[in-house]
């Protein structure tokens, strides 16, 4: 694509050193991925400043460097006169708009659904994709479980675990649009909103699930965390809001003035969508759905009241996108849950293993409440301290599960650059008696899973929680392959 930078001043370009136009072959923010003719964006990462890699990018073939340091850009322009050097107000904002431009505004050719919330983003975005596909609106997915078209999961190396960087986002939109998808459901994290990864996207529907403490290792304050999430509703046409949530629902209702559907699990609520009379069976959950006074009997193959709330958010989204309620009700029995969300595996000794990557105190508490409604002998729960998250949250996970299970295993997810023992010690601070005989520890998630399986007896439930991202453990900056399911199946094969 030929880019005349003088015509793109609205993207935040302040000054151009060198040629005012270039033929651009790609957009990159990692210097090692540069191809001949690429634009290189000098973004600040967690551990380094992208400006330090500009000359490496040039030597690898970059035709254009975009940054915020005027002196450096001017100096490089004298050394490399064939390259263009663009001074911008904010590299991330310019990157988002240039990515949208480079991929021909593919996001505007799709129905875009953005999901934000402390808990439930992965489940809701998956329910939305599944529901819209059942309603014959081909829909892809971008989120923690990977990149999916309407038909299948695709191999795509994401730049971040949840919401990819803007270049990747628009590339994925382009890919989905070209293969015939009509919509995309995506998780939109607070960090992504703060870092402008979704800048320039005007969502057809923004969904709010809930709000509680999380990501304070990044945001530092709850106010900053909330304000970042609220940004999604300032760039959306319609909204779906959980009015049972005391953390953020009122804030959204105060700022949002577009078409809106509220949902609730309280029959006395004045929400547009309500669920009541919830009953659970071995196959799923039945309830009465009330939409604006009309009542429908519904069955969905999901478990947990919090998941019924998640279903309501998907139903509200489908309604806002023009689907009749009757059509929605008819296909709900075919709804599928994402991998790792109340995923039940039957063990050979009549034990049940439940995978649910709940990784906040609120999510863990809700999960355990629902699991305890099932029939079982003993409850074995594995929790984890997450090395790449807020250390202050770790003891709260222990306090949440303290006294709630017959056996507890404390392990580590994604230790990052931390010593796993330090992480375990931090979690242990939340127990009233960390040395209790039913509290165990394991320095790796694999060892934690195996410990839980070895403790299990007939008719026990083994609940494996916390945040396993992209089938890998993040250790010292590297992604080490990991699969709970493979460990489970391997254990029982060896035992048989």
User: In the chain, where are the structural domains located?
Assistant: 2-91, 103-334, 343-495
The yes-or-no verdict on residue 325 having pLDDT over 90 is yes
- CA-nearest of 396, 406, 386 to 362 is 396
Average pLDDT over residues 298-303: 94
Q: Cβ-count burial of 206 within 10 angstroms (0-12 exposed, 13-18 middle, 19+ buried)?
A: buried
Query: Can you tell me the distance from the alpha carbon of 303 to that of 9, in angstroms, rounded to the nearest whole number?
Result: 51
Output the pLDDT for position 469: 60
Output the pLDDT for position 456: 94
**Where are the strands (E) in 117-195, listed by range?**
139-143, 146-148, 153-154, 183-187
Strand 352-355 to 343-346 pairing: antiparallel
Strand 64-67 to 84-88 pairing: parallel
Output the pLDDT for position 338: 87
The CATH superfamily holding the domain 2-91 is MurE/MurF, N-terminal domain (3.40.1390.10)
Output the pLDDT for position 350: 87
Cross-strand pairs, 352: 346, 461
Query: Can you tell me the distance from the alpha carbon of 143 to that of 1, in angstroms, rounded to the nearest whole number?
Result: 29
Q: Residue 222 to residues 179, 214, 229, 448: CA-CA distances in angstroms?
A: 40, 8, 11, 32
Query: Can you tell me the distance from the alpha carbon of 114 to that of 110, in angstroms, rounded to the nearest whole number?
Result: 12
Domain 343-495 has CATH 3.40.718.10: no
**Region 103-334: CATH code:** 3.40.1190.10
Q: H-helix or E-strand containing 31?
A: none
The yes-or-no verdict on residue 493 having pLDDT over 90 is no
Q: How many CA atoms lie within 13 A of 252 on its CB side?
A: 34
Strand 38-41 to 26-28 pairing: parallel
- CA-nearest of 68, 76, 90 to 17 is 76
Tokens, residue 319 = 């309604």
Helix axes 484-495 and 445-455, enclosed angle (nearest 10): 40
* pLDDT 10s digits, 7-28: 999 999 999 999 999 999 999 9
Output the pLDDT for position 348: 85
- CA-nearest of 455, 387, 385 to 415 is 387
Phi, psi of 463 (to 5 degrees): -105, 115
Of all residues in the chain, the percent with pLDDT exceeding 70 is 98
* pLDDT 10s digits, 119-137: 889 999 999 999 999 999 9
Output the pLDDT for position 161: 67
- CA-nearest of 363, 359, 459, 340 to 406 is 459
Q: Let me know: does 442 contact 408? Beta carbons within 8 Å.
A: no
Output the pLDDT for position 468: 63
pTM of the predicted structure, to 2 decimals: 0.86
Average pLDDT over residues 413-430: 95
Q: Residue 42 to residues 29, 85, 91, 348, 402: CA-CA distances in angstroms?
A: 7, 11, 7, 54, 46
Confidence of residue 46 (pLDDT cuts 50, 70, 90): low
Average pLDDT over residues 322-344: 93
Average pLDDT over residues 412-421: 93
The yes-or-no verdict on residue 159 having pLDDT over 70 is no
Residue with tokens 């940054």: 67
Confidence of residue 342 (pLDDT cuts 50, 70, 90): confident
Query: Can you tell me the distance from the alpha carbon of 27 to that of 25, in angstroms, rounded to the nearest whole number?
Result: 7
Query: Can you tell me the distance from the alpha carbon of 284 to that of 299, in angstroms, rounded to the nearest whole number?
Result: 7
- CA-nearest of 322, 316, 393 to 358 is 393
Average pLDDT over residues 104-111: 98
Phi, psi of 473 (to 5 degrees): -110, 130
The yes-or-no verdict on residue 160 having pLDDT over 80 is no
Average pLDDT over residues 245-274: 96
Helix axes 305-320 and 361-371, enclosed angle (nearest 10): 110
Query: Can you tell me the distance from the alpha carbon of 495 to that of 188, in angstroms, rounded to the nearest whole number?
Result: 42
Neighbours of 167 (CB within 10 A): 24
- CA-nearest of 298, 302, 282 to 342 is 302
pLDDT averaged over the chain? 93
Query: Can you tell me the distance from the alpha carbon of 421 to that of 442, in angstroms, rounded to the nearest whole number?
Result: 9
The yes-or-no verdict on residue 373 having pLDDT over 90 is no
Query: Can you tell me the distance from the alpha carbon of 76 to that of 60, in angstroms, rounded to the nearest whole number?
Result: 15
Question: Higher model confidence: residue 392 or residue 178?
Answer: 178
* pLDDT 10s digits, 425-459: 999 999 999 999 999 999 999 999 999 999 999 99
Query: Can you tell me the distance from the alpha carbon of 118 to that of 208, in angstroms, rounded to the nearest whole number?
Result: 9
- CA-nearest of 73, 81, 74, 79 to 54 is 73
The yes-or-no verdict on residue 360 having pLDDT over 90 is no
Q: How many CA atoms lie within 13 A of 270 on its CB side?
A: 0
DSSP 44: B
End-to-end CA distance of the chain: 59
The yes-or-no verdict on residue 3 having pLDDT over 70 is yes
Which residues neighbour 208 within 8 Å (Cβ) at sequence distance 6 or greater?
A: 116, 117, 229, 233, 239, 240, 241, 242, 245, 248, 249, 252
Confidence of residue 218 (pLDDT cuts 50, 70, 90): confident
């Amino acid at each position: 694509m030929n880019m005349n930078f003088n015509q793109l001043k609205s993207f935040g370009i302040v000054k151009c050193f060198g040629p005012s136009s270039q033929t651009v072959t790609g957009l990159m923010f990692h210097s090692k991925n540069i191809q001949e003719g690429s634009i290189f964006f000098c973004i600040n990462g967690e551990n380094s400043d992208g400006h330090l890699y500009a000359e490496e990018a040039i030597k690898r073939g970059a035709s254009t460097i975009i940054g915020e340091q005027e002196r450096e850009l001017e100096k490089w322009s004298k050394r490399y006169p064939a390259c263009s050097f663009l001074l911008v107000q904010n590299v991330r904002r310019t990157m988002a708009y240039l990515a949208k431009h480079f991929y021909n505004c593919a996001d505007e050719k799709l129905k875009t659904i953005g999901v934000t919330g402390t808990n439930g983003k992965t489940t809701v975005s998956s329910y939305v994709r599944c529901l819209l596909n059942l309603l014959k609106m081909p829909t892809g997915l971008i989120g923690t479980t990977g990149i999916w078209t309407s038909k299948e999961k695709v191999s795509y190396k994401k730049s971040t675990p949840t919401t990819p960087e803007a270049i990747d986002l628009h590339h994925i939109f382009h890919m989905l649009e070209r293969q015939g998808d009509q919509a995309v459901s995506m998780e939109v994290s607070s960090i992504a909103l703060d870092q402008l990864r979704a800048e320039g996207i005007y969502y057809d529907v923004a969904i709010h699930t809930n709000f509680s403490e999380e990501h304070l290792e990044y945001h530092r304050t709850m106010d900053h965390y909330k304000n970042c999430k609220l940004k999604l509703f300032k760039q959306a046409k319609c909204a779906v809001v959980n009015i049972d949530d005391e953390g953020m629902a009122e804030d959204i209702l105060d700022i949002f003035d577009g078409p809106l559907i509220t949902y609730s699990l309280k029959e006395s609520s004045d929400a547009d969508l309500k669920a009541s009379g919830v009953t659970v069976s071995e196959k799923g959950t039945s309830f009465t759905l009330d939409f604006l006074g009309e009542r429908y009997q519904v069955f969905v193959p999901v478990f947990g009241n919090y998941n019924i709330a998640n279903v309501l958010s998907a139903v509200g989204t489908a309604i806002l996108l023009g689907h009749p309620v009757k059509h929605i009700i008819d296909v709900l029995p075919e709804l599928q849950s994402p991998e790792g969300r109340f995923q039940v595996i039957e063990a050979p000794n009549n034990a049940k293993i439940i995978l649910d990557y709940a990784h906040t105190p609120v999510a863990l508490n809700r999960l355990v409440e629902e699991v305890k409604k099932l029939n079982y002998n003993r409850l074995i729960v594995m929790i984890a301290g997450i090395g790449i998250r807020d250390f202050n949250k770790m003891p709260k996970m222990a306090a949440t599960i303290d006294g709630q299970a017959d056996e507890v295993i404390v392990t580590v997810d994604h230790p990052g650059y931390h010593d796993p023992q330090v992480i375990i010690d931090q979690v242990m601070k939340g127990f009233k008696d960390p040395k209790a005989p039913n509290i165990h520890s394991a320095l790796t998630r694999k060892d934690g899973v195996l410990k839980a399986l070895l403790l299990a007896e007939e008719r026990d439930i083994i609940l494996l929680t916390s945040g396993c991202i992209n089938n890998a453990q993040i250790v010292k900056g590297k992604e080490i392959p990991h699969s709970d399911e493979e460990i489970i199946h391997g254990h029982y094969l060896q035992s048989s």
